[in-house]
Every structure is written in structure tokens, then in C-alpha cells.
Structure 1
Amino acid sequence: MPFDHNDHYHPLLLREVPAGGGRALDVGCGTGRFAAALARRGLDVDAVDRDAETVAAARRLHGGGPGPGRLSFRHADITRVPPPPATYDVISCVASLHHIPFATLAALRDALRPGGVLLVLGCYREQSLTDHLTSVAAVAVNTGYRTATAVREALTRPSPPRRPAAPTTAPAMSLEEITEGARDLLPGSEIRRLLLWRYLLIHRTPPGPPSRR
């Protein structure tokens, strides 16, 4: 499709990224669009995905790295080899958390440095009346976005190349279940429902003690 729901919310995620660079982990990086955006913000990014073909496509698209931060892609499954503790300033999961056990959030939480942030743009299973009403509203908005994007691409010469599709799966958890699970694993985290069949989860670790000079 010419309009990508995840890409649409990238600016929302980037507003939560702390200034000053640092190190980032992008979990389930897909074809690397958000990982590249983090590198453009000056972060050194480790982008991982457990699908080898998707990682290969990401390297083809962004292999040189957009800079100024370093960008590397790796075929890896963090449920088998968790990230080391206190390593990252930013950890992102863009439409990838529902591909892995929800409890993996504990390992991601522990991999944050003091003052770090975990950003999840997630998908949920529609269950409540609010879910279904939001979905009805989203259909009309989505149609408008898709039409505008298709027209813009039709006027572009040459047309932008289509990105390869990453594997997809249906989310198993409802937004209520996700909220309850986050309360247990990520106390103090914030969850917001977004219009286009997504939610935003933000968790920040307390800052470390001030440095002494």
C-alpha cells in the first residue's frame, strides 16, 4: 500500500528520543526505516530482526547508513539472546512487539541505561466497543491518507521504489491486556491509544546520579 501506518507515526516516536545522541536498539527493525531515522538523529543504532530476508533487504536499502550515527543490521532473535543490561539509551519496537512474547519487555527494560527510554509503537487485538468505534473512524482517515499518498506518488517522476514487505502476524493481546501487562513489567509507563490501529507505549528509566568533576 502507498501509505504506511507505522511510518506515519515515526515523527511521534522521534519526539520522545532524548537529545544528545547515544546508543539505540531497534527491535524487529523490518526493512530499517525507523532505524535509519534514529541514525540521522545521531544515535549509534543496532537494528535486529529474526527474519534473515528482512535483514538482508534492510542492508540493501540502508547499508551505508544515513549518518551521522552508526547503523548496523543484524539477524538475531532477542528472545533467545537478550540484549545486555544497561547498554542502550533508546530501545524501539515498531509494530514488532506482538511478534514476540510480551514478557520480553522485562529484558528490554533492563537493557536501558539510566535516563533511557523504551518506545513501543504496537498493534492490538480489537475487543472493546471503544476499539471498534475507533476502527470505524480510522477507516475514513486511512482512506484519505492512502488517496493523498497515491496521488503524490503518481505525480513523482520517477516513482519511488516499493519497499519489500516484512513478515506480518495478527496481534493476540487486546489493548486492555497490554495496559495491564505494562503495569506489571513497566511501572510508571505511559500508554496512549492512537487512531490508526496502533498504540504508543513510553517507559523511561530514572536518570543516574550527576557526574562529579
Structure 2
Amino acid sequence: MPFNHNDHYHRLLLRHLPRKCRTGLDVGCGTGRFARRLAGRGIDVHAVDPSAEVIARARATAGEPADGGPLPRFEHADVTRLELPAGHYEFISCLASIHHMPFDTVTALRKALAPGGVLVILGCYPEKSPADWAWGLLASPVNAVARLAVGAAERCRPAGAAPVQAPIAPPRVPLSRIRREAAVLLPGCRIRRLLFWRYLLVFRKDGLRTGE
């Protein structure tokens, strides 16, 4: 499918960057598209993914530093087994990756946030409730149009190397349970439902304002 739901929300996630952000962690970075966008803003980005194949592609396509800024540091690693530095990262992102691991992994991510740091999760959820199904019905025609538009644009581009896709797993935890667990593990976080079977969770440590 040429239309990437996660890429569609990059700009929304970037609105939650703390002002003058210097350090970032991208969890489940895949081929590194979002990590590169963060690095392009002058952020020192540590990007991790458990798939060796996608990390290899991320490193191969890292390109040159933007405006003399740093390149992401791509690491083949399972974040649930890493010893993350406490209070270090000013911005942590998880794009369609938290459902690949126990949700309580957010506890370690919270501890890794610097004072005033921000954790953003673009999460996936299964359709379990009438509200889920209603949003799914709303998203389906928009998704179809977007797929057609992006597919047409892709056909006009020269053929390149076959794309490498990060491993996919279906989400199993309903949004209602995610809300309950997040309220305990990330007190004060905000969760809102998005189109394309996604939700956005934003947690600000110590209440620092973002660049919205």
C-alpha cells in the first residue's frame, strides 16, 4: 500500500517538540523517515528498531546531514532490553511500534525523559467498540482516495529499489484499555483518536509546553 498512515501524521507529531529540543529517541524507527526529520531540526537522535533489515536500510538511506546537523544514530536493538539513560531525552517518539511490546514499556520511556521532556505515541488499536467501527467507516473512503492519489504519483516516478517494510503485527489491545493503563503509567497524558485506525498519546514530563 503506497499511502503510509504513519508518515501522514509526521507534521502533527512534530508540533509537540519541546522548544529548543536537543536530544531525541525514536522507538521502532523502521527505515528512519521520522528520525531523519527530527535530525533535520538539529536534534541528536538515537533511533532503535528490533529488525536488522530495516536498520540496515535506514543506515543506507541516511544521506548527508541537513544544514550541518547530525545524522540519526541507528541501532539494531529491542528497546525493552536496553538500559536507557535516565532523564536524558527531551523528545521520545513511538510510531506504530508500542503495540509490538508490552504497554508498560512506557514506564521505562517516562524515566528516560529529561525534565520537561515529551513522549508522543502514534498508536494502533483494533476495532472492538461501536465508536471504533464508526471511526473505521469514516476513515475507509478517505483512505481509499488517499491510496489512489499516492499510488498514481508513485507510478509516475522512476522505478527504484524494492522498499523494505518494517515487520507488521496486528494491534490487540483495545483503545479503552490503553486509556486506563496510560492514566496509571503516564499520569496527566492526553489521548485522542485519529483517522486511519490510530490514536495520539502525548505525555509531558513536568508540564513543559511544546511548540504548538
TM-score, normalised relative to structure 2:
0.92
The letter of the residue matching 2:180 is: E
The letter of the residue matching 1:62 is: A
- Alignment match, 1:71: 72
Instruction: Please state how far the C-alpha of 1:72 moved relative to its aligned partner.
Output: 0.8
Cα separation, 2, equivalents of 1:63 and 1:74: 16
- Alignment match, 1:17: 17
SS of the residue corresponding to residue 148 of structure 1 reads: helix
Instruction: Please state how far the C-alpha of 1:71 moved relative to its aligned partner.
Output: 1.2
- Alignment match, 1:54: 54
| Aligned-pair identity (%) | 50
- Alignment match, 2:192: 192
The letter of the residue matching 1:45 is: V
Cα separation, 2, equivalents of 1:199 and 1:115: 22
When residues 167 and 128 of structure 1 are mapped into structure 2, their CA distance, relative to the original with a 3 A threshold, is same
CA contact (8 A) 2:39 2:72 kept: yes
Cα separation, 2, equivalents of 1:65 and 1:150: 29
When residues 146 and 161 of structure 1 are mapped into structure 2, their CA distance, relative to the original with a 3 A threshold, is farther
Instruction: Please state how far the C-alpha of 1:58 moved relative to its aligned partner.
Output: 0.9
Would you say 1:155 and 2:151 are equivalent positions?
no
Would you say 1:142 and 2:136 are equivalent positions?
no
Unaligned runs of 5+ in 1: 209-213
Q: Deviations over 1:179-201 (max 9, x none)?
A: 00100000100001001110000
Unaligned runs of 5+ in 2: none
Instruction: Please state how far the C-alpha of 1:207 moved relative to its aligned partner.
Output: 5.9
Correspondence 1:42-191 to 2 at 5 A: 42-62=42-62, 64-66=64-66, 68-156=69-157, 158-159=158-159, 162-191=162-191
Instruction: Please state how far the C-alpha of 1:110 moved relative to its aligned partner.
Output: 0.6
Instruction: Please state how far the C-alpha of 1:126 moved relative to its aligned partner.
Output: 1.2
Q: Deviations over 1:153-206 (max 9, x none)?
A: 2334x2565531110101110000000010000010000100111000000011
The letter of the residue matching 2:195 is: L
The letter of the residue matching 1:110 is: K
CA contact (8 A) 2:48 2:78 kept: yes
SS of the residue corresponding to residue 37 of structure 2 reads: helix
Instruction: Please state how far the C-alpha of 1:77 moved relative to its aligned partner.
Output: 1.2
TM-score, normalised relative to structure 1:
0.92
RMSD: 1.6
Cα separation, 2, equivalents of 1:175 and 1:65: 38
Q: Which structure would you say has the larger RCO, counting Cα contacts within 8 Å and 6 or more residues apart?
A: 2
